[in-house]
Amino acid sequence: MALHLFSLSLFLLYSLFSLTTIANCSTSLHYHACHQHESRVLLQFKQSFMISEYASYDPLSHPKTTSWIPTTDCCSWHGIQCDELTGHVIVVDLRSIQLYGSLDANSSLFSLVHLQHLDLSDNDFNHSQIPSRIGEFSQLRYLNLAQYGENTFFGEVPPQLSHLRNLLFLDLRSYHEYIPPNPINKLQLKISSIRSLIQNATGLETLYLNFVTISSSIPDMLTNLTSLQKLALFRCGLYGEFPIEKFFKLKMLNVLGLSGNKLSLLPGISSSNETLPPIQELGLRSCNLHGEIPSWIMNLTNLAYLDLDYNNLQGQIPHSFFKLLNLEILSLNSNSFQGQIELDMFLKLKRLTWLDLSANKLTLLNEKVLIPI
């Protein structure tokens, strides 16, 4: 009996083992090493750039391409990932790897037609234009061309960008980390290109266009992007009234950044029982805003970050601010707020780590002592 049990467990062990072997065999059957031409393409791309320690701003940047050795499988190279079934390169992540040189219109990179994820951010492309062939990456879901400092792409963003109908993430920010005293926008995006992009890339979730000149009224067609979660349009040359009610139809929106545009008025919105989007970050710094803080801001109960610096907002700091229990950063500096505020009220905001009320006409009331600030 004991022997019987022993052989039974042996049998079970064996069959488990053979099952996993079969499973491993079947996955390895589908596993491909890097396609030779894609390996060549990547090596050509590597050779078309110099490595310069000044090309990337990130202090942790390092030249990943040193691991790109011709005799090895390119799917194992730093920054490269291949599709497990087809072996085609689908991810090229070259963020902050100290590349210096131009991105040519005929760069070999554009033959990687299976790419789903392309990150070239924080390198120095020597003021290249973004090649129109970027529109040939029809599978692309993630595109990051953000530049951290002065090293930006230059010129008009090609309208072919709108051919990327699978795009979920698009980042074309300039000055992403370091904003110099007098930043200059070096990229332009035509409103017609934005329209086409919205028509095609209907699934967009993240759109970062800081310091890209758009020069138009706020394009409310952005609200057609119903999956939009993060929208940052810092200093895009936008102007006019902000159609907040339309934007509040975006039920997933959690980041909204419009700082540095000429919005002038923050319209109120008619009260409704509809739930507002779960906005956590709201940036409206230097927007020429005047009038009082509209009451809808106090209904954004998820708000963690609110920047209203450098506007001309007036009136008292509303008491209802203290309903925003998730606030971590509250910056109201350089406005025309008036009246007394009680420091004790701010103690209710347990998560607050940054509070700036400076350069207003406020008086701080602290245990019956008045402190002008």
Ligand X SMILES: *[C@@H]1O[C@H](CO)[C@@H](O)[C@H](O)[C@H]1NC(C)=O
The binding site for ligand X (CB under 6 A) comprises 20-21, 24, 50, 100-102, 104-106, 126, 138, 162-163, 165, 195-196, 198-200, 221, 224, 269, 271-273, 276, 296, 299
Contact 298, 271 (CB under 8 A): no
Burial per residue of 292-324, b for 16 or more beta-carbon CB atoms within 10 angstroms, e otherwise: ebbebbbbbeebbbbbbbbbebbeebeeebbeb
Which of 131/260 has CB closer to ligand X? Answer: 131
Task: Report CA-CA distances (Å) from 82 to 22, 34, 69, 237.
Answer: 23, 7, 16, 40
Nearer to ligand X, 90 or 201 (CB): 201
One-letter amino acid for residue 98 of the chain = Q
Looking at the Cβ atoms of 137 and 305, the one nearer to ligand X is: 137
Please name the residues in contact with 372: beta carbons below 8 A apart, sequence gap of 6 or more: 363, 364
Nearest-approach distance from CB 17 to ligand X, in angstroms: 6
Task: Report CA-CA distances (Å) from 81 to 137, 185, 293.
Answer: 16, 33, 48
- 175: β partners: none
Among 261, 349, 359, 335, which residue's Cα sits nearest to residue 303?
349
- In the complex, least distance from residue 196 CB atom to ligand X, rounded to whole angstroms: 3
Question: How near is the Cβ of 360 to ligand X at its closest, in Å?
Answer: 25
**Taking CB positions, which residue lies at the least distance from ligand X?**
271
Q: Based on the number of CB atoms within 10 Å of its own CB, is 357 exposed (0-12), middle (13-18) or buried (19 or more)?
A: middle
In the complex, least distance from residue 50 CB atom to ligand X, rounded to whole angstroms: 6
Residue placing its CB nearer to ligand X in the complex, 191 or 373: 191
Residue 55 or 362: the one with the smaller Cβ distance to ligand X is 55
Pick 162 or 210: Cβ nearer ligand X: 162
CB of 224 to ligand X, least distance (A): 4
| Nearest distance in Å: CB 23, ligand X | 7
Residue 108 or 360: the one with the smaller Cβ distance to ligand X is 108
To the nearest whole angstrom, how small is the minimum distance from the Cβ of residue 101 to ligand X? 4
* CA distances in angstroms from 72 to 78, 91, 354, listed in the order given: 12, 17, 50
Report the distance separating Cα 335 and Cα 348, nearest Å: 23
